[in-house]
Structure formats: C-alpha cells, structure tokens
Homo-oligomer: A and B are copies of this chain.
Amino acid sequence: MKRHDDIWIMAAQCPSRLGTVDVVTRFLKERRCYITEQQSFDDRLSGQFFIRTEFRPEEAGFDADAFQTAFAERAAEFEMSSELTPPGRLMPVVIMVSKADHCLNDLLYRYRTGQLPIDIRAIVSNHPDLASLSEWHGIPYHHFPITAETKPEQEAQVWQVIEESGAELVILARYMQVLSSEMCTRLSGRAINIHHSLLPGFKGARPYHQAYEKGVKLVGATAHYINDDLDEGPIITQGVEPVSHADYPEDLVAKGRDIECLTLARAVALHVERRVFLNRNRTVVFQR
C-alpha cells in the first residue's frame, strides 16, 4: 500500500476566533481519525483562519456523509466552510488551450502516468491545432472558434462543456483569449491561469519581448487564479530562470516553456491536494 492510499484531506477556513483549531481536531479525535499532517495559519491582517488536515480513520467503515453533516453542525458557530477529499480522488477538470502545446503536453503526461490526481474530462480550444494530441490521450476536444462578435456565444459553449463535464477546476494552459468579466466571476477560485512572466513585472502581451527590452537577468512564470482584473488574480506559485545577454527574445520564449510547464503543474497539484486557500486577493499555500 502506498502512503496516501488511506489518507483523507480536510480543508477549512473561517474568520479568526478562539477555538478554530480545536473544533477541527477534537471532532477528528472523537471520530477516531488519526491526524498524520496538519497545517494552520491565521492571517492577522485579513482576520482569516485557514487549516488543512490529512487524516486516517482508525476504524473501518468511515462514513464521509455522516462525517460532513456532523462537522458542519459543529463548525456552524465559527462560520467555517470546509471540504473533504477522499483518498485517491481524481478532481474533474477541463483544460483550455490555443495553439501552444507545451503546457498541455506536460499536463497530459502527468495525467496519463498518474502523477497528477486529475480526471481530464474535456479540452477546449479556439483553434483546431491540438485535436490529435488530445485524441491520442482519448480526451474529447472541443474546437470553439472565437471572434470579437462571437465571444458571448463562444463562452456559452465553453461554459456548457464545463457544466456538463462536471469540472471543478478549469486550467488555462496558455489559452490566449481574455475571458469576459462574467466568465471570470463564474470561475472565481476554480480557474488557474499560467502567465508567462513574473507578475507583477510584465503584464499583457509578449512579456518575453518586454523582458528582453528591459534587459532583465531573470525570467519567470506565474500561476494564478483568474479574476476580473486581467493578470492580477491571486498568485499561487511562481518560477524563475536565469537568462543572459545572449538570449534573444526567441530564446527567452524557449527558456520560458520549461518554467511555464513546471509552474502550472505545481499550481494544479497544490490546488487538487487542497493546499491553496483564497485570502482576498492573495493566497495561503500550505507546502509539503
């Protein structure tokens, strides 16, 4: 048996108040659940409390529904929201792409080999280019072209795929269209984008060319939740890579690919392992 095979994850947050940890840990003990790993953090500035617990029921026949109902009751006085993730669960996701395939290819490899606990339900693109790659992995590919005029219709199509697929997470793996404000709101906290620069350094288009112009000695990538404010959503994780004068813009693009793949994959892993919490326009991330 691998070490995670019997481990449940509980993630919760609420306003700061005496007893926030106790309400979780006492409940777990009463239910005879052994805590194997726990992290909590209280943000003094936002007045919010966050807790993530890995635990193993000591007795057979753990009843998740009963557990959640009872815990909700117990935690009500703390206004605590919580999520319970069973061992081995694969989170249903939809991936959105345009033409660049490096991030998609990387995610598909990790998916295929079981390195990322996700279940890719569909791939959506505004271009047809990546259909065959998707098909080789046996994943439905939806090509929804987009123009300025057809944007609302296109987003309605995208939304339908997300809804019908049951996706809990949308991964923008170098999807080069700006989502509408409505779409951002609907996907708040459950859509991760990879921006190919170290935000807030170079927002907008062609960040590697901007980086070249400025002569920076480091380039990077930022994985963040999308929100209304393009390239300004809460940051999950960032990666960085040294560059030199001998790197022309096309070299920076090439060097950036690796760091984009790694940064996006790390962000997705953190999210599906329930390690990321929204804290206003920032995040709390419990690293392993």
Contacts and interface: CB of A to CB of B under 8 A. Distances in A.
A283 B37 CA distance: 16
Contact of A25 (B21, B39, B202, B216): B21
A125 interface: no
B35 A21 contact: yes
Nearest to A197: B201
A75 to B, nearest CB: 14
A198 interface: yes
A245 B21 contact: no
A218 interface: yes
A255 B33 CA distance: 29
Interface residues of A, number: 69
Interface string A257-288: 11000100000000000000001011111011
A40 interface: yes
A235 B217 contact: yes
Given A3-B248, A235-B214, A287-B244, A35 B20 contact: yes
A168 interface: no
Contacts of A105: 109
